[in-house]
């Protein structure tokens, strides 16, 4: 009897030995990270410096940026947020981390975002050669000039949405009501803007609208694209903590959905290539490059999918945030309404050229991009050979570095009253004269900055102007403190935004 207790079976022995080895490995790694790692001298909480798990936990909760704010308030400009990553919160870090080709994108992060290559050859994870070529063509297709050339197309989608909203108002018997502020209709703008932006970007990229506004629903393709975007954080974390095989499992589980996205995008793309030859849109320069053999069809397909993700989520969450902040600040809304309604003699005169000149509109846009940057997280870069100097601090080579767009714009040392919406800070008024305006870089800097800046701004300017021209907008109790409910899973995961839309009394 005694003997059978004392003697272990070979399986038990193997389990005990492996457990002991794993414990020894974890303990040695922890000691190494804390004492001997090249970043061991950088400040940060002990558990973040010792292990990747606290970073992973916050990323999965969608509140890493909020945590970083507390850490930067406590530790200053640079914080070690995982054993191999430093976060910076000084405005000069934008230029030092992102402004040069000598800091590469963190391949692990970006290949995780492309689901380990399941999304083919996307620009964000392309090797340097194809990236340069793709970016060149994309910059062409997404330029200011190109945005103005597509103005009519953007307006046609906006008008379609306004027709539907007006129909809804009529159906509810509100269109002739006096503008008392309680006669309008409460709309979930998260839904309406998802439909609108996918219709616009779908038309720009694939040559045809998804018809979401008309049918008031997302297509299955859009539902899957949204799920893929939301799964971003989970995939990134699994990849970083060494559970890459689980991503393969996810790919297997979601494989059917992915294939569906790729198949549908491919069918639409091929139809665009054959039936709309020479259409002057975003994708035309990249189609031409593919036909001239400079890029593969996979590059073209991957770029299309990327544009559908990168161009829609950011612009939509930007618009939602703008309308939330402006309707929550009645004085600002009044000024903006006055500016827009007096700048044009009729609705037909609303145009991008004129909107670009409207001073108040444009500082409101700058301020919302600061307070709620649509691409909020710290996109990781890696210090190249010989290391880099970031914000005056030498950083060893192979260090992962980032500037978190939400964190840097909410630190008191960069912006006075950082949680309040004050467009005048961009006019340099006395109260905000110490603000570091360069700390807000919503489109990032350098070789991987956003090529869609002009389009994003064009869509936002037109949508804001048309909404304010047509309706009196009012915040709604259901959406009080909307920003506090948001989580960041690589991009924001916006909650419904309920806004009361009042028809104008004179209409
Ligand atoms: C308010 C709107 C937008 C904001 C704030 C925004 C912001 C950003 C940011 C911060 C990045 C850099 C990400 C990184 O470092 O990995 C980026 C990249 C990118 N954006 Fe945008 N974006 C917006 C709209 C758009 C639109 C409308 C498009 C296209 C139609 C677009 C296409 C892209 C692409 C393709 C990249 C990857 C560029 C590269 O890796 O070189 N974005 N965007």
SS (H, E, C) 193-232: HHHHHHHHHHHHHHCCCCCHHHHCCCCHHHHHHHHHHHCH
The protein residue whose alpha carbon is closest to atom 40 in ligand 1 is 124
Start-end of H helices in 416-507:
453-470
- Please give the Cα distance from 475 to 30 (Å, whole number): 50
The closest-lying atom of ligand 1 relative to the alpha carbon of residue 448 is: 41
- Give me ligand 1 centre to Cα 86, in Å: 23
The protein residue whose alpha carbon is closest to atom 36 in ligand 1 is 450
Cα 399–chain centre separation: 24
- Please give the Cα distance from 250 to 77 (Å, whole number): 37
In this predicted model, what pLDDT tens digit does every residue of 273-297 receive, in sequence order?
887 777 777 788 888 888 888 888 8
- Please give the Cα distance from 30 to 45 (Å, whole number): 13
- Please give the Cα distance from 466 to 279 (Å, whole number): 26
- Give me ligand 1 centre to Cα 451, in Å: 6
Beta carbons within 10 angstroms of residue 250's beta carbon: 18
- Give me ligand 1 centre to Cα 317, in Å: 13
Helix (H, G, I), strand (E, B) or coil at 386: coil
- Please give the Cα distance from 218 to 249 (Å, whole number): 27
Burial of 433 (0-12, 13-18, 19+ CB in 10 A): exposed
In this predicted model, what pLDDT tens digit does every residue of 422-452 receive, in sequence order?
999 999 999 999 999 999 999 999 988 998 8
- Give me ligand 1 centre to Cα 452, in Å: 6
Burial of 241 (0-12, 13-18, 19+ CB in 10 A): middle
> In testing the pocket of ligand 1, which one of 196, 377, 400, 450 has its CB within 8 Å of the most ligand atoms?
450
Per-residue tokens: 305: 């999918």
- Please give the Cα distance from 288 to 430 (Å, whole number): 52
Per-residue tokens: 329: 């600040």
- Give me ligand 1 centre to Cα 419, in Å: 24
The closest-lying atom of ligand 1 relative to the alpha carbon of residue 312 is: 27
- Please give the Cα distance from 191 to 376 (Å, whole number): 21
- Give me ligand 1 centre to Cα 303, in Å: 12
pLDDT in tens, the chain (507 residues): 444 456 778 888 888 888 888 889 889 899 999 999 999 999 999 999 999 999 999 999 999 999 999 999 999 999 999 999 999 999 999 999 999 888 888 988 888 777 666 655 455 555 556 666 677 777 777 778 888 889 999 999 999 999 999 998 888 766 555 444 456 789 999 999 999 999 999 998 888 899 999 999 988 888 877 777 777 888 888 888 888 777 777 766 666 666 777 788 888 888 888 877 777 777 888 888 888 888 888 888 888 888 888 889 999 999 999 999 999 999 999 999 999 999 999 999 999 999 999 999 999 999 999 999 999 999 999 999 999 999 999 999 999 999 999 999 999 999 999 999 999 999 999 999 999 999 999 999 998 899 889 999 999 999 999 999 999 999 888 888 898 888 999 899 888 999 999 888 655
Give the pairing of strands 381-383 and 185-188.
unpaired
Burial of 499 (0-12, 13-18, 19+ CB in 10 A): buried
- Please give the Cα distance from 221 to 152 (Å, whole number): 25
The protein residue whose alpha carbon is closest to atom 6 in ligand 1 is 443
Q: Would you give the DSSP letter of residue 503?
A: E
The closest-lying atom of ligand 1 relative to the alpha carbon of residue 444 is: 10
The closest-lying atom of ligand 1 relative to the alpha carbon of residue 134 is: 41
Contact status, residue 402 vs residue 380, Cβ threshold 8 Å: yes
Helix (H, G, I), strand (E, B) or coil at 455: helix
In this prediction, residue 179 carries a pLDDT of: 44
- Please give the Cα distance from 268 to 287 (Å, whole number): 13
Question: In whole angstroms, how large is the CA radius of gyration of the chain?
Answer: 25
- Give me ligand 1 centre to Cα 491, in Å: 11
Beta carbons within 10 angstroms of residue 128's beta carbon: 11
Contact status, residue 97 vs residue 403, Cβ threshold 8 Å: yes
Rounded alpha-carbon distances, angstroms, from residue 392 to 75, 79, 419, 506: 16, 14, 28, 59
Contact status, residue 43 vs residue 75, Cβ threshold 8 Å: yes
- Please give the Cα distance from 138 to 92 (Å, whole number): 27
Tally of CA atoms within 13 A in the half-sphere of 186 that contains its CB? 9
> In testing the pocket of ligand 1, which one of 310, 402, 448 has its CB within 8 Å of the most ligand atoms?
310
The reply, when asked if residue 450 is annotated as ligand binding, is yes
The protein residue whose alpha carbon is closest to atom 17 in ligand 1 is 450
- Return the percent helix, strand and coil in the chain, to nearest 5: 60, 10, 30
In this prediction, residue 234 carries a pLDDT of: 85
Q: Which helix (H) or strand (E) holds 320?
A: helix 297-327
Rounded alpha-carbon distances, angstroms, from residue 211 to 194, 219, 222, 277: 12, 8, 11, 22
Tally of CA atoms within 13 A in the half-sphere of 354 that contains its CB? 15
Contact status, residue 422 vs residue 432, Cβ threshold 8 Å: yes
- Please give the Cα distance from 353 to 358 (Å, whole number): 9
Nearest to 266 by CA among 375, 120, 389: 120
- Please give the Cα distance from 197 to 212 (Å, whole number): 9
Q: Which residues line ligand 1 (CB under 6 A)?
A: 123-124, 135, 142, 201, 306-307, 310-311, 314-315, 318, 374-375, 379, 442-444, 448, 450-452, 455-456
Q: Which helix (H) or strand (E) holds 104?
A: strand 103-105
| Phi, psi of 474, deg, nearest 5 | -140, 140
Burial of 116 (0-12, 13-18, 19+ CB in 10 A): middle
In this prediction, residue 274 carries a pLDDT of: 82
Burial of 85 (0-12, 13-18, 19+ CB in 10 A): buried
Cα 6–chain centre separation: 59
Q: Which helix (H) or strand (E) holds 382?
A: strand 381-383
């Amino acid at each position: 009897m005694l003997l059978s207790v004392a003697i272990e079976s070979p399986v038990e022995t193997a389990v005990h030995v492996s457990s002991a080895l794993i414990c020894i490995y974890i303990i040695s790694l922890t000691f190494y990270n804390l004492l001997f790692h090249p970043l061991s001298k950088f400040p940060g909480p002990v558990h973040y410096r010792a292990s990747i798990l606290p970073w992973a936990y916050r990323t999965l909760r969608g509140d890493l940026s909020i945590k970083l704010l507390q850490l930067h308030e406590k530790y200053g400009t640079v914080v070690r947020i995982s054993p191999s990553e430093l976060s910076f919160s000084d405005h000069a870090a934008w230029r030092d981390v992102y402004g040069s080709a000598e800091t590469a994108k963190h391949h692990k992060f970006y290949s995780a975002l492309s689901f380990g290559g399941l999304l083919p050859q996307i620009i964000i994870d392309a090797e340097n050669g194809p990236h340069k070529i793709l970016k060149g063509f994309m910059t062409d297709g997404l330029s200011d000039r190109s945005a103005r050339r597509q103005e009519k197309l953007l307006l046609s989608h906006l008008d379609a949405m306004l027709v539907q909203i007006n129909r809804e108002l009529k159906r509810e018997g509100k269109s002739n009501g006096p503008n008392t502020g309680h006669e309008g209709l409460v709309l979930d703008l998260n839904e309406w803007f998802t439909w609108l932006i996918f219709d616009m970007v779908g038309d720009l990229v694939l040559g045809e609208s998804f018809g979401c506004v008309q049918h008031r629903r997302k297509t299955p393709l859009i539902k899957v694209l949204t799920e893929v975007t939301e799964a971003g954080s989970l995939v990134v974390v699994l990849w970083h903590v060494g559970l890459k095989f689980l991503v393969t499992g996810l790919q297997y589980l979601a494989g059917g959905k992915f294939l569906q996205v790729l198949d549908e995008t491919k069918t639409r793309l091929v139809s665009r290539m054959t039936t709309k030859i020479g259409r002057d849109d975003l994708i035309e320069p990249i189609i031409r490059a593919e036909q001239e053999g400079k890029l593969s069809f996979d590059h073209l397909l991957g770029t299309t999918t990327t544009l559908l993700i990168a161009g829609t989520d950011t612009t939509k969450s930007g618009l939602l945030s703008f309308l939330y902040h402006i309707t929550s600040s009645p004085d600002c809304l009044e000024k903006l309404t006055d500016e827009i309604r007096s700048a044009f003699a009729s609705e037909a005169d609303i145009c991008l050229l004129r909107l670009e000149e409207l001073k108040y509109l444009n500082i409101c846009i700058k301020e919302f991009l600061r307070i709620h940057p649509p691409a909020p997280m710290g996109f990781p870069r890696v210090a190249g050979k010989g290391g880099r100097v970031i914000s005056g601090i030498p950083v060893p080579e192979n260090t992962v570095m980032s500037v978190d767009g939400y964190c840097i714009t909410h630190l008191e040392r960069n912006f006075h009253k950082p949680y309040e919406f004050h467009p005048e800070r961009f006019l340099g008024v006395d109260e905000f004269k110490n603000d570091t305006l360069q700390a807000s870089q919503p489109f990032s800097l350098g070789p991987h900055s956003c090529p869609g800046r002009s389009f994003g701004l064009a869509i936002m300017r037109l949508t804001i102007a048309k909404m304010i021209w047509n309706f009196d907008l009012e915040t709604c109790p259901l959406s009080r403190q909307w920003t506090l409910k948001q989580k960041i899973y690589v991009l924001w995961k916006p909650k419904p935004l309920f806004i009361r839309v009042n028809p104008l009394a004179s209409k």
